[in-house]
Every structure is written in C-alpha cells, then in structure tokens.
Amino acid sequence: MNRRLILTLLATFVMAIAACCATEPDTQPDPLNPDNAMNTDEAEAEDEETPNGDPVEPGEAMPTGEDCGPAKVDLDALPAKTLTGTLHYKAIEPRKSVEAYLGVEFTLDADGTEHVLKPTDRVSRDALIALDGKPVEVTGVLVEGSKPCSWEQYPMDMDGKPMKRPAAYHLLKANAR
C-alpha cells in the first residue's frame, strides 16, 4: 500500500512538472508584472495609454509618473555654455554593462577636464562621431544626471545605492576648430 501511495505521489509530481515545462513561457502571465498581464509579442500595446492619454508604442516603457529616467529638457530655457577642446568618441557595447547604463559615449577634453557630451536633435550622433579626435568648439546646456526608475535595472555604487548617471552637456552646436 505504501508503495502504491508513493508511486501515485511521484506520478502526480512528474505530471505537474511536465505540465509546467510544456507550456510556452510567452503565453504565461508574468508574475513580476503587478497587473499580471500577458507577456506576449502580440500584447495589445494599443490598449495602454500614458497618463495624458497618448498611446504607448510597442516596446516602449509605460511611464510611471516617477521623477526618473533620461531628462527631458527645454534646451532654450537653460543657459548655454561654450567649451573648446578635443572631442573623444568611445563606442558603447550593445549589452548590459555599467558603461551602457552611464551612457558616456562622447567626451570633451578641455584643459585637462573631461566633460560628457550628449547628441540632440540639433547635433546628431553621426556628426559627433565625425569629429572624433578633432579640436572642437561646442555649445551646450549642462543637464544633471538622472536617477533610475523603479522598474529599471541598474548597477549599484559601493553603498548599495543606484549608481548615478553623470551630468552631461546636451549640445546645441558643435564645430571643428
């Protein structure tokens, strides 16, 4: 009798594991999602809306209302500063890393001080890559680094807190000297 009970329990256990493994992960509810929404490529992103009613594009993160993530700045409303020096470009590997999180792709060496530069709609990334290693004069607005959002993965500093992204000059113009 004990042997029959053990075999029944074992068979039930094996069937439960097989049923769990046999389902496709794309069709299972996401346990980490607070709404327990389906995690599928066919998810209906058009049904989601931002707090102001705009639709969320597929692959775009849902805004949370938190003061986090990349800063959206009105460049004309802040004071601009002109710097001269040598522009350096360092490609960021397309993988999760501290370098990718910090996003420091362009720097300006101005009299021994390194300034982080960010491309904008006025100065493209390609235009900055073309100026790599050349003496340049840039004009930009200094924007403080952002803190990560609660849903974002991030590296930690020595105190176990989210690593802060560096302040960067969002460029208004860049010219070779």
71 by Cβ neighbours in 10 Å (0-12 / 13-18 / 19+) ranks as middle
pLDDT 10s digits, 63-98: 555 567 666 778 888 899 999 999 999 999 889 899
Q: What is the pLDDT of residue 78?
A: 86
Number of H helices, E strands in the chain: 3, 5
Q: What is the pLDDT of residue 39?
A: 45
Q: What is the pLDDT of residue 23?
A: 53
pTM (2 decimals)?
Answer: 0.60
- Which region, left, alpha or beta, applies to residue 77 given φ > 0 means left and ψ of -120 to 50 means alpha? alpha
Q: What is the pLDDT of residue 52?
A: 47
Q: What is the pLDDT of residue 24?
A: 52
Q: What is the pLDDT of residue 27?
A: 52
Helix or strand (DSSP H, E) at 98: helix 98-102
Give CA–CA dist 113/16, Å, rounded: 62
DSSP, res 168: E
Greater model confidence, 132 or 58 = 132
| Structural domains in the chain, sorted by start | 2-47 (no CATH), 75-176 (2.40.50)
Q: What is the pLDDT of residue 20?
A: 64
Strands (E), the chain: 81-89, 106-110, 113-118, 135-143, 168-176
Three-state DSSP class for 47?
A: helix
Token look-up 């176990």 returns: 160
- Mention every residue, 6+ apart, whose C-beta is less than 8 A from residue 89: 105, 106, 128, 129, 132, 133
Q: What is the pLDDT of residue 71?
A: 60
Q: In which band, very low, low, confident or very high, does the pLDDT at 111 lie, cut at 50, 70 and 90?
A: confident
% of the chain surpassing 70 pLDDT: 69
Q: What is the pLDDT of residue 2?
A: 78
Give CA–CA dist 43/35, Å, rounded: 13
